Amino acid sequence: MKNRQIILLARPKGKLGPEHFQMTEGVVPDPKEGEVLVRVRLISLDAANRAWMQGATYRSAVEAGGVMAGGAIAEVVTSPASEFKPGDLVFADTGWQDYAALPAKGLIKLPRIEPITNLLSVYGIAGLTAYFGLLRIGRPQPDETVVVSAAAGSVGSFVGQIGKIKGCRVVGIAGGAAKCDWLVGELGFDAAVDYKLGSVDRALKAAAPRGVDVYFDNVGGEILEACLPLMNVGGRIVCCGAVSAYDGTAPAAGPRGVPGLIVIKRLLMQGFIVMDYFSERYAAVAELQRWVQAGQLKIQEDVIDGLENTPKALIGLLAGENRGKRMVRVSQ
């Protein structure tokens, strides 16, 4: 049995490109004591994959010369640990490869939910990030206005829909008319702003005439700067990520308005990492399942076939190719 692996050749200085990766073929690893051998089924593609190349974040930086890191759903092949048996599905940082041998304590056992792609989208990191970030930090109240950036992406598309479930006016910010039409026409957002047209501040003012109570920030940079003056007194800014700063050289200074507008408008601006809430994830998944079953929460998945396509799929995600949760199917 062969183990195909995608190696990160160098950490990019500017934009990420196919030249930063190489596919090699190794052997299937021999698990050491306490390790479980898993076969990768679906690799999660995340904007954060690119952020890890910039340096240490909530995890250590990915280093050049090794298998590219990444979370995945994998199937247990052999296990010395009684809690895992062959055929069990787990979530783990397997990296971009066919097989991995990992310490049993680092594996998260997954429930049997079909299709298993849902375990990476609505019931995985994407859905849970939207759920906890919006409800615990954003705390949206009925009739309030929620704005979310990267709104047609995996986290953003759930944020907006959960905002609607909570009775809010929801405005999405996304790149391009097709994505904006989809947010309003298919996902039930009240309005969408195409940031690629420029003048986000003006367009947002028109889309959120009563101001913004919750801004769920996935992008940082100029869009955060455009949202700040529109925030209502007592508004909450959920700092989820900064995708505008991931794929390039050092991020620009800013945004203007910090801390001045934070003080004047008595804003809460709080970051979080979804794992902070993991002890509550089963209850969250149960609520997400109820919303899906009631038809209130639509799931959009963007599945790409073939391990060899993983670099291209990440580069495309950073360029906004994806709609909803992007993932790569490595094996059936």
Ligand X SMILES: NC(=O)c1ccc[n+]([C@@H]2O[C@H](COP(=O)([O-])OP(=O)(O)OC[C@H]3O[C@@H](n4cnc5c(N)ncnc54)[C@H](OP(=O)(O)O)[C@@H]3O)[C@@H](O)[C@H]2O)c1
Secondary structure, 3-state, 6-48: EEECCCCCCCCCHHHEEEEEEECCCCCCCEEEEEEEEEECCHH
Instruction: Calculate ∠ Cα 29-110-155, nearest 5°.
Output: 105
Closest distance of CB 90 from ligand X, Å = 19
Nearer to ligand X, 135 or 274 (CB): 274
Closest distance of CB 330 from ligand X, Å = 18
Contact 274, 137 (CB under 8 A): no
Nearer to ligand X, 37 or 173 (CB): 173
Closest distance of CB 45 from ligand X, Å = 7
Nearer to ligand X, 48 or 73 (CB): 48
Unique residue bearing structure tokens 């704005």: 147
Contact 208, 144 (CB under 8 A): no
Distance CA 288, CA 261 (A): 34
Closest distance of CB 294 from ligand X, Å = 24
Nearer to ligand X, 38 or 137 (CB): 137
73 phi and psi angles, rounded to 5 deg: -90, 130
Closest distance of CB 148 from ligand X, Å = 10
Closest distance of CB 151 from ligand X, Å = 7
Which residues of this chain interact with ligand X, rule CB under 6 A? Answer: 46-48, 125-126, 129, 150, 152-156, 174-176, 179, 195, 218-219, 223, 240-244, 272-274, 317-318, 320, 322
Nearer to ligand X, 73 or 317 (CB): 317
Cis preceding-peptide flag for 115 (omega within 30 of 0): yes
Residue type, 280: E
Nearer to ligand X, 76 or 230 (CB): 230
Closest distance of CB 198 from ligand X, Å = 12
Closest distance of CB 16 from ligand X, Å = 12
Nearer to ligand X, 6 or 134 (CB): 134
Nearer to ligand X, 36 or 159 (CB): 159
Distance CA 42, CA 96 (A): 10
Distance CA 83, CA 195 (A): 48
Unique residue bearing structure tokens 């905002």: 163
Instruction: Calculate ∠ Cα 184-301-311, nearest 5°.
Output: 120
Nearer to ligand X, 36 or 187 (CB): 187
Query: What are the helix (H) ranges across 186-240?
Result: 200-207, 221-227
Q: Among candidates 164, 269, 141, which has minimal Cα distance to 217?
A: 269
- The 8-class DSSP code of residue 106 comes to G
Closest distance of CB 195 from ligand X, Å = 6
Count of C-beta atoms within a 10 Å radius of residue 50: 21
